Structure 1
Amino acid sequence: MRRRRFQSSFPRSYAAIIHPVCPPTLPIIGNLLSAWFKYKELKYYHSVWQAWARQYGDILGLRLGFVDIVVVSGRDMIKEVSSREVFDGRPGGFFYMIRSFGKKLGIVFSDGSSWNMTRRVVIKYLKSFGYGTRSMETNIAQECKALVELRMSDAGQPVLVNDMFDVSIINILWRLVAGKRYDLKDERLKELCHLIKRAFAVVDMTGGILNFMPFLRHLIPGLTGYTEMKEVYDSLYKFLRDIIKEHQESIDVKCPRDVIDTFLIEMMNTKDGAFKITDEELQVVCMDLLQAGVETVGNTAVFMMLHLVRNEDAQARLWKEIDDVIGRDRPPTLNDRTKMVYTEAVLLESLRISSVAAVGIPHMALDDARLGDYVVPKGTFVLLAMYDLHNGSHWKDPQEFRPERFLTKDGNLIQDEWLMPFGMGKRRCIGEGLARSELFMFLTYILQKFHLKIPEGDPLPATEPIEGVSLSAKPFKIVFEPRIKTRYSGRRPSLVTA
């Protein structure tokens, strides 16, 4: 195939953004057909981008239907895109806009000055109710304690792990946002978590056919995922509107109880012409906070359990470190983290190998921008190949769960710059600190009390993920066996019956 060059005049034609060597293209649909065939072969879209990047280079230009996309691979290119303001935009595709009333609202899929202001206000309000403080750790500890008690009540029985952390994660942040905590068996919350997972399972992060050829939703709404997505978001927003209405009916303007109260008071007091949070903006902010934790932290925690139940030696090393630093009776605290190097290595390896945000959250070029030897025109979607970054050639045996890769020979922790699970730059995840704290506390609370076992007769749980907006684990069960019946024997970190 003859090489095409980016034209210096920055025309909006396909030739202007395509990588010099590209997959086969067709009129109108572009690379959709070749991407679909490659997807059928490799099973995951992030694997398609990974394979094509190996073939065509770290800056891969595509046209998928009506959408121009650049897939960026490699540490250096991903860092460059993440650190440059011109790539801080968010796409305005139909898939991203359907969840926010057809507008760029909230803090996940918005950009520009309104995003900056909303993000600043959300962080300010969260901090005013304890986000990032000792009270936040208290919330996490209470949820971990409740989760351990629930597992004690069904100890010895196979438990489906895939939705185990969902309500706990919602409770941790929702106390600040809406002033509520739900019982771990609450059926309404379980249904809410199910709706969130459905919303993330309809398509992958590119937005699929709803972005590439949005007109098809009028012709085949069921096949494009439009029908299901609209149904899911209608239900989620009904839940949020009910919560907000309850706050409006009981609010005390002199004594706000939570973030929603504070937003409502701010909306009452804001004068015309000033930056104003609208009813729709408040709903989308709540949606962003609700969805982000359940999907990213929840899926990572599930993958962590999956790899640990497959790896008895890793469990044994965790037990030993937990027993040495914390003991069997005292609850874990975040202060223990600095003394628990192997536990931290397990967390890093879990974040690396799961890479639940396989291409991150899409960026968009806010203006024509040079990247490497090419020009990315304004409006182009930019995907970051995060799964490839974390499971590529930099890592020896990347498909193996090996926490030791983050430890030196002297037992010190390695902070590898190739690991970027929360992104970087201005678009770095604002919930990173909370997510890391949650994962540490979930891990130490559970492994302090339980031996994770595969149910008798069940195969090893599969490590291959289910594709969606984020990656999730295939359904699997674990038997949580209380560790009170076990003790260590000798130096080797294995267990014998007491």
Structure 2
Amino acid sequence: MSDLEIIIYPLLKKFFLYPGIVFSDGQLWQKQRKFSLQHLRNFGYGKREMEQKVIEESKELIENLKKNCSKPIFMHQAFDVGVLNVLWTMMAGERFALDDARLIKLLKIIHDAFRLIDMSGGLLNQMPFLRYIVPNTCGYTQIVNILTRMWEFLEDTIAEHRKTVCSSYARDLIDAFLHKMNVTEEYDSTFNDEQLLSLCLDLFMAGSETTSNTLGFAILYMLEYPDVQKKVQLEMDDVVGRNRWPNMQDKINLPYTEAVLMEIQRRANVPPLGVAHRATCNTNLYGHLIPEGTIILTSLYSVHMDKDFWRDPMAFKPERFLNEHGKLVVPEWHFIPFGYGKRRCLGESLAKTNYYLFFTAMLHNFHILKVPNDTELSLDGYDGVTISPKPFKAILLSRND
């Protein structure tokens, strides 16, 4: 195992051989990914019921936001709980209230964790010995504290499942994993307590962070570009109307809205680097020798900001993704927010559904306005494993009044 993995998961200790699904490869990764996708689908992943769950969460969020209509309200983390709830119901069979104090505190911990280091591991990965010399200064202590609290939360969740798990059927992914651990005729030593904890940690952190950050940036860009916001609303009013909620079937008829969502992903670059990969054999890439075992990071940022292809990559232009007939056009090799190939994001389907439905719900219900005299609004985010929007407020005016 590389220093990168040890630093990002410093609590593994005796769990070294069970790096979840993000930092695994080979047969372990294949088995864990296949198992996770198969059973998440059993609980609605990629199906109509997943869409319905997202719509329900978006409706609850909208109703909650309406309580503060016409008042400045923080929006950079407004989607955290709603986005996580859809995944958590499939993983653990329960959802959280939007004002759940324990979860909000936990999500803040996750945001802090993602800002402590970047995907390369930062200074701590370049000089791992610092964790023994200056653990507080280099951030190691903070990472350990954050992951300790995450482990405790997930251990409590799994412990509750053990008390109530039924041998005849699985209620959620955790139940399915516990069943797999107890199958004697097809015993697999990689399905164990430590791997279950690591898998839950991967899904919990990845599932709550990237999409909610992207939605935060989406609101920020609508504040900065009100003309774009207006065009999205006009398109939705024409296709969806004012008497029902936007759904996934509308998506094909909303090319401008889709182009806006893609341009936000391209410009915000929430995951600036792909997940760390490992070269499984000596490889020659464009004349560069990559030795077996090398940790590889792909720069998604450089793809999305390529001047040769995009010409003016810093400009925000949704029309990039539309042809002369107004039809959606997606460049295969230059727009890869979920990565590429068989290691692309496992949660892509859920992320796209969350992103589209929460965004359209917001613009269907609200005019999103800047707070008067707000001079601190910035499209620049905090650096880290993901790019997250800095705290900002917006005024939401109901479109139904």
Residue of 94, 102, 107 corresponding to 2:6: 94
Per the alignment, residue 35 of structure 2 pairs with 121
Residue of 381, 398, 401 corresponding to 1:465: 381
1:375-394 deviation digits (Å, cap 9, x = unpaired): 11122222212111101202
Residue of 55, 60, 65 corresponding to 1:151: 65
1:354-410 deviation digits (Å, cap 9, x = unpaired): 111112112222221111112111222222121111012021321222111111121
**Alignment partners' CA distance in 2, 1:469 and 1:123:** 24
Structure 1 residues 92, 103: closer, same or farther in 2, change over 3 A? farther
CA positional deviation for 1:271: 4.8
Per the alignment, residue 8 of structure 1 pairs with none
CA positional deviation for 1:99: 5.4
* Cα pair 1:325 1:340 within 8 Å, conserved: yes
Once the two structures are superposed, the pairs formed by residues 153-192 of structure 1 within 5 Å of their partners are: 153-192=67-106
Per the alignment, residue 411 of structure 1 pairs with 326
Q: Provide the secondary structure at the position in 2 that maps to 1:480.
A: strand
Per the alignment, residue 6 of structure 1 pairs with none
Structure 1 residues 90, 324: closer, same or farther in 2, change over 3 A? farther
* Cα pair 2:210 2:271 within 8 Å, conserved: yes
CA positional deviation for 1:441: 0.3
Q: Provide the secondary structure at the position in 1 that maps to 2:182.
A: helix
Structure 1 residues 411, 91: closer, same or farther in 2, change over 3 A? farther
Structure 1 residues 278, 361: closer, same or farther in 2, change over 3 A? same
The aligned amino acid for 2:63 is E
1:428-475 deviation digits (Å, cap 9, x = unpaired): 111111111111101111101100001112126211121011111111
**Alignment partners' CA distance in 1, 2:232 and 2:380:** 24
The range that moved more, 111-120 or 96-105, is 96-105
1:82-132 deviation digits (Å, cap 9, x = unpaired): xxxxxxx98754223425443442111111111110111011110111111
Instruction: Say whether 1:478 aligns with 2:390.
Output: no
**Alignment partners' CA distance in 1, 2:45 and 2:20:** 19
* Cα pair 1:201 1:468 within 8 Å, conserved: yes
Q: Quick one: higher RCO (CA 8 Å, sep 6+), 1 or 2? A: 2
Instruction: Say whether 1:208 aligns with 2:122.
Output: yes
Structure 1 residues 129, 335: closer, same or farther in 2, change over 3 A? same
* Cα pair 2:18 2:195 within 8 Å, conserved: no
**Alignment partners' CA distance in 2, 1:174 and 1:93:** 25
* Cα pair 2:4 2:121 within 8 Å, conserved: no
**Alignment partners' CA distance in 2, 1:252 and 1:373:** 56
* Cα pair 1:341 1:412 within 8 Å, conserved: yes
Q: Provide the secondary structure at the position in 2 that maps to 1:122.
A: helix
* Cα pair 1:406 1:414 within 8 Å, conserved: yes
The aligned amino acid for 1:405 is R
Per the alignment, residue 317 of structure 2 pairs with 402
* Cα pair 2:5 2:23 within 8 Å, conserved: no
The aligned amino acid for 2:373 is G
Q: Which is higher, the Rg of structure 1 or of structure 2?
A: 1
CA positional deviation for 1:295: 1.5
The aligned amino acid for 1:409 is E
Normalised to the residue count of structure 1, the TM-score between the two structures is: 0.77
**Alignment partners' CA distance in 2, 1:352 and 1:438:** 17
The aligned amino acid for 1:175 is T
Per the alignment, residue 78 of structure 1 pairs with none
**Alignment partners' CA distance in 2, 1:463 and 1:236:** 30
Per the alignment, residue 456 of structure 1 pairs with 372
Per the alignment, residue 146 of structure 2 pairs with 232
Per the alignment, residue 218 of structure 2 pairs with 304
* Cα pair 2:4 2:120 within 8 Å, conserved: no
**Alignment partners' CA distance in 2, 1:127 and 1:259:** 10
Per the alignment, residue 201 of structure 2 pairs with 287
Identity value in percent: 38
CA positional deviation for 1:262: 1.1
**Alignment partners' CA distance in 2, 1:142 and 1:154:** 20
Per the alignment, residue 346 of structure 2 pairs with 430
Structure 1 residues 179, 284: closer, same or farther in 2, change over 3 A? same
Q: CA RMSD in A?
A: 1.6
* Cα pair 2:177 2:191 within 8 Å, conserved: yes
* Cα pair 1:197 1:295 within 8 Å, conserved: yes
Structure 1 residues 162, 270: closer, same or farther in 2, change over 3 A? farther
Equivalent pairs counted in the alignment come to 397
CA positional deviation for 1:426: 1.4
Q: Which runs of 5+ in 2 are unaligned?
A: none
* Cα pair 2:131 2:138 within 8 Å, conserved: yes
Instruction: Say whether 1:369 aligns with 2:283.
Output: yes
* Cα pair 1:90 1:110 within 8 Å, conserved: no
**Alignment partners' CA distance in 1, 2:200 and 2:351:** 17
The range that moved more, 156-165 or 373-382, is 373-382
